[in-house]
Amino acid sequence: MGHTIGALVTEHIAVGLLENDELAGAIRRFPDAGDFRDVLEGMPAEEIVRRVADEVEAAGRGHEIGAVGVGFPGINRGGLVEDSPNLKQTKGLNVAESLSALLVEKGIGARVHVLNDAAALAAGVAATRGQLDKLVRVWFLGVGVGLGRYPQAGGFSEGGHTVVTLDPKENFCGCGGVGHLEGIVGHRAMRLRFLDLEPEEVFEQAAAGDARCTEFLKLWHRAIAAGTATSVHLDGPGKFYVSGPNAGHVQPNLLDQYLHEMVKMSPLQGSSFEVIPTSDVTALIGAAVSADRAAEA
């Protein structure tokens, strides 16, 4: 199968060289040290793509690259970012076209395949667990919230914007929508909700018995369960993996309880949750595997 490259754009940029669907060297990151948060949020869209191209060139130096897969946040089809609430400046950018042109200038003529970052993570879970023949769903809990699905469906892959409440006051979602899962569970949304506390402190105080934070912890879990219930009612039951910077706050037993309250039809019962380590490696593998398969199609 030769060499492919997986790239991931989230709060930072990560790029890795793969051989036969396994990482074949160290992961390159931008920035390479320090706090990633908000680094890309204020960076011009063209600069983000240029940084990805530079890291791809460095990672693939000395190898013939067959395909490049890029996990990118937001709604993108055919490589065009139609919207990206967490990287607003990239709306309207054709990542595949721009990156391909930059790589050609660097002597890399590989096909570029762009997919949602959460979808790349789901593909990576499927690939690393030998489940490429099964339905795999992954919640990514970070600045925003993503529901990755493998295999990719023909939709928009924006499960984080599932409506989970009809309360008009729930308007903290980065896209501006009301009642969205991300508006409750997303890191940015939690910072807006609790102006006097960081999200980590909210969960710490909930564990210490603070009433306000305890109620939010229940709302947080119920929102994830509601988003999961929607997916179950559309795609059927199964295991849901949970990853991302805020996955450590998840209490699987509480999610199981709330999900059971929301899904009552017997053919749709039997789902479960597994919190998995947060690592760029899995998403990079997923992006590269998706690119390789797209090139073969």
| CATH numeric code, 3-122+279-296 | 3.30.420.40
Secondary structure class of 70 (helix, strand, coil): strand
Share of the chain above pLDDT 90, in %: 86
What confidence tens digit (pLDDT) does each residue in 224-280 have? 999 999 999 999 999 999 999 999 999 999 999 999 999 999 999 999 999 999 889
Q: CA-to-CA distance for 102 and 108, rounded, in angstroms?
A: 9
The CATH class given to the 135-275 domain equals alpha beta
70 and 13 Cβ atoms separated by less than 8 Å: no
The single-letter code of the amino acid at 170 is: E
Which residue ranges does the chain devote to CATH 3.30.420.40? 3-122+279-296, 135-275
What pLDDT does 32 receive?
Answer: 80
**C-alpha dihedral over 231, 236, 240, 246, to 10 degrees?**
10
pTM of the model: 0.92
Residue 85 reports pLDDT greater than 70: yes
The predicted model gives 140-163 an average pLDDT of 87
